[in-house]
Each structure stands twice: as C-alpha cells, then as structure tokens.
Amino acid sequence: MQPLPAYNFYITLIETDAPDFIASATSLGALVLGGFSEAQGLESEISVESRRAGGINDRVFQFPGTATFPNLVLSRGIGFSEDLYLWHEQFLRGAGSRRDGLVFLANETRIPIKAWRFENGIPVKWSGPALNASTSAVAIEKLEIAHERLTLILSPGAALAGAADALGV
C-alpha cells in the first residue's frame, strides 16, 4: 500500500457546544480553514509511572499515566480573510468560544482518507508575518491551538481491522 502524501490536508473548526459535531462539520456551520502550508502537533503522549515492588528486584513495573497533547500549529499564507486572528482576538477580549476541529488528510483526488478530531481548542498564540522588503517571500501567519484531546476518527486501516475482528480473523 502506498503511503499518503502529506501535502493534501485541510482543517475545519466547529463551535464546541454544537449539538451534533459530525453534522456540524459537514454543514455550512463549519468553518473550513483551507490553504494551510503546514500543520504540526498531531501527537499524543502517555506518561509512564514507575513502581517498585518489595522483594522484586529484577524489574520496575510501568503503568500508563496521563495523556498529553501538544498544541497544534497551523501556518498559511496571509490572504484577505482575518478568521484566525479574529478568533484569537475574541479570547484577548475575554469573549472567545472554544472550538473543536478536524484535520483531514486526503488522497491525490482530495478525498479524505484520515481525519483527526481535536477537542475544546483555544487559540493561544497568533503570529503575523515577518515583513522584509528585501525578499519576495510569502507573508505567513501562524495560529497555535491548545486543546484537550486528539482522536483518530477516520481511517481505512481502522475499518479493515474492525472488519477482521468481526470476521474472527
């Protein structure tokens, strides 16, 4: 099986308190934030707690602890839309609302193949472009989103594994 290219992706934001997340994500209620040049932070990590047991000297027992998720960092060329900055500015004024979101990875025909959902996102940092008249670089803005959880919600591999389990394979 061919690996998926990392350049076909897009991001959608939905109000966290939307009653039906998936319906909101596929309707006009979702804010599709396309055109990103880079998305970082699709990661999760589980801390490990070590415990020793009296009289057992040949090992240290390892137990899973708390899961942590780094901030998502989205980068894109600045256009005429101010949606990312305005979401961040709402929080600067104390009136912001959290958003859930989807990060889609698509195939060459732009059909979503994998999707990750992040929950309760807060835009904790917005960075404007580095301006330099001596270069012809594109003006890039970045938005850093802190969130509480990241879940893989669409994956053909997961569907195949579920089908194999159902068949007893």
Query: Among 80, 79, 97, which Cα is nearest to 88's?
Result: 97
Q: What is the pLDDT of residue 165?
A: 54
d(CA 143, CA 38): 11
Question: What is the average per-residue pLDDT within 63-73?
Answer: 96
Question: What is the average per-residue pLDDT within 86-93?
Answer: 95
Specify the CATH number of the domain 9-167: 2.30.110
Domain ranges of the chain: 9-167
Q: Are 126 and 88 in contact (CB under 8 A)?
A: yes
> Does residue 53 or residue 8 have the better pLDDT?
53
Each residue of 118-141: pLDDT tens digit? Answer: 999 999 999 999 899 999 988 899
Token pair 């893989």 is found at 152
Question: What is the average per-residue pLDDT within 43-57?
Answer: 94
Q: What is the pLDDT of residue 158?
A: 61
d(CA 87, CA 98): 9
